[in-house]
Structure 1
Amino acid sequence: MSAMYGPWRGGRSFDLGRMTLRELVVAYAAHPAIHLYAVLAVVSTVLAVLWGEGAGFRPLLAVLATALAYPLAWYLIHRFVLHSRFLYRSPLTAALWKRIHFDHHQDPHRLDVLFGAPVTTLPTILAILIPLGWFVGGGRAGAAAAVAAGLVITCIYEFCHCIQHLNFKPRSRLLRRMKELHLAHHFHHEGGNFGITSYLIDRGFGTYYAEARERPRSPHAFNLGYDRAEAERFPWVARLTGAPPRDRPARPGEKA
């Protein structure tokens, strides 16, 4: 067990800009969060089957509803929570915001901060999908089926997110396009292209942009608005980081 999780527990920082696809697959497959999601997905699936006797196809409707709702839920959380400014303005939530999104934008290639922390992802998944699955799927079997589907989709999202930051050009035209749009969000203008695997919600909310030239370069793509002036007013994130916020990528040899 210690050998399996050793690199992650040792605080190693994986640089997606220097990793191969094979190295990513190995690191991804060894991540404790992915193992946790997989185990819980299996448990939820078993419960859905055990509780689903006589429920017919309703638990499958919960799975379908989860797949349809997931892109919208991700968009709303990403845009209105992760990119909001109220979290860093309170000492009670500054550390949370730093971990779940600020660190990722400060250095988009760090694999160790790309993965969501289960302490935040799991409560969110359960809070959204248990009521949705219960309502659509006809009770506890539907709730379990929705949670199982949500955990599987989370694993897929996490891997796609990794690919988007990996120094690798996907063969799939669809994956290449997803990567281009996501990298524009990180390196050009953070106020758009909030999706990961789908940008239909961005189109619906008017935050989609197909080319960088469609928007001016944002000064906050790396600091999410938490610049040096904000750090002076709300110092908690900067204190945790140990350095002023950056407004550009780290140069070669520069401490992240």
Structure 2
Amino acid sequence: MVAKDYTVDLNKPLVFQVGHLGESYQEWVHTPIVTQEGPRFFGNDVVEFLTRNDWWVIPLIWFPVVCWFETMSFRMGHDLPQIALMIVTGIFIWTLMEYTLHRFLFHIHTKSYWTNTLHYLLHGCHHKHPQDGLRLVFPPAATAILLVPLWNLVKLAATPSTTPGLVGGGLLGYVLYDMTHYYLHHGQPTSKVPRYLKRYHLNHHFRIQTMGFGITSSLWDRVFGTLPVTKAAAKSR
């Protein structure tokens, strides 16, 4: 039974503590701790190591895979303009996946022990410690596992020769998303669009966490009505 006044000890591994918060978990996880130093997740050193990734690991691993997928479609008879169209289509599909996963899965409300624990591992840890640079990108092993159902899903709607090109485009979209996400938290953009995206995303973290689910773009927030109002507009109401 969950103690009503349960307190998480930040000096101990967190993952198997957060489930005990019960209904208080949502308030706790959406109260950020802004520090560059990330918390410890697990007591086991090997498991703990697997939860941490440097940002550069993502393009190092997945850019060659993207090229391999596109080469598969090229060898099956598609020319370069067709390959380019598959890549652009895959990236576009990814942006919708990015929005949908962030809104409906990453921000699902949980209260039981195991759902709180799973949510913390999936996304809650990022909201609690938004500047933890080693847990901003998705672990490559998890991405590899998710590629299997993604491939089979695309295969249902595409031809055998276009499936690799579309999956490669979606994978490239994911890589761009992870790199953008890391940069929005740790970079200091000077040009207009990156500055807008950084402000837009940090607004999601620190002002209104129930809106602004896009990372690489605010397109789908505009389409589905989850575009947050600016501070100036909010004050004028």
- Give a deviation string over 1:22-50, Cα, whole Å, max 9, x none: xxxxx533x2x433212322322232222
2:157 is aligned with 1:131: no
1:110 matches 2:132: yes
CA contact (8 A) 2:204 2:210 kept: yes
User: Offset of 1:83 from its aligned partner?
Assistant: 0.4
TM-score in terms of structure 1 length: 0.62
Distance 1:214 1:108, change over 3 A: farther
- For residues 40 and 95 of structure 1, the distance between their equivalents in structure 2, rounded to whole angstroms, comes to 32
Q: Give me the whole-angstrom Cα distance separating, in 1, the residues matched to 2:108 and 2:169.
A: 28
Paired residue type of 2:138: G
Any conservation in 2 of the 1:44–1:145 contact (CA below 8 Å)?
Answer: yes
Deviations 1:185-236 (A, max 9, x none): 00011111100111111011111014135569xxxxxxxxxxxxxxxxxxxx
2:192 is equivalent to residue 165 of structure 1 = no
Counting only pairs closer than 5 Å after superposition, residues 1-256 of structure 1 correspond to structure 2 as 15=36, 27-29=54-56, 31=57, 33-50=58-75, 52-53=76-77, 59-86=83-110, 89=112, 91=114, 93-128=115-150, 130-132=152-154, 135-136=157-158, 138-139=159-160, 141-166=161-186, 168-212=187-231
**Partner Cα distance (1:127, 1:61) in 2:** 22
Give the Cα separation in 2 of the matches to 1:121 and 1:103. 18
Give ranges in structure 1 of 5+ residues lacking alignment: 1-13, 17-26, 217-256
- Superposed CA RMSD: 3.0
User: Which ranges in structure 2 are unaligned for 5 or more consecutive residues?
Assistant: 1-34, 38-53
SS across alignment from 2:130: coil
Deviation at residue 118 of structure 1 after TM alignment: 2.9
Give the 3-state SS of the residue equivalent to 2:227 in structure 1.
coil
Contact 1:134–1:142 (8 Å) recurs in 2: no
- The residue matched to 1:28 in structure 2 has which SS? coil
Q: Is the 8 A contact 1:193 1:209 kept in 2?
A: yes
Contact 2:73 2:164 in 1 (8 A): yes
> Match for 1:112: what amino acid?
L
Structure 2 CA distance, aligned partners of 1:193 and 1:187?
11
TM-score (normalizing by structure 2): 0.67
Q: 1:120 to 1:90 in 2, by over 3 A?
A: farther
Partners of 2:87 and 2:103 lie apart in 1 by 24
- Taking CA–CA contacts closer than 8 Å with sequence separation of 6 or more, which of the two structures ends up with the larger relative contact order? 2
1:186 match: secondary structure: helix
Partners of 2:112 and 2:172 in 1: how far apart? 34
Q: Tell me how far apart the structure 2 counterparts of residues 210 and 170 of structure 1 sit (CA, whole Å).
A: 22
Instruction: Tell me, yes or no, if the aligned pair for 1:58 and 1:142 is still in contact at 8 Å.
Output: no
Conserved 8 A contact 1:194-1:202? yes
Measured in 1, the distance between the counterparts of 2:80 and 2:194 equals 36
- 2:232, 2:150 → 1: CA distance? 36
Quote the residue 1:221 is aligned against: none
Q: Which moved more, 1:62-71 or 1:172-181?
A: 62-71
How many angstroms apart in 1 are the aligned matches of 2:78 and 2:222?
40
- State how many pairs are aligned: 186
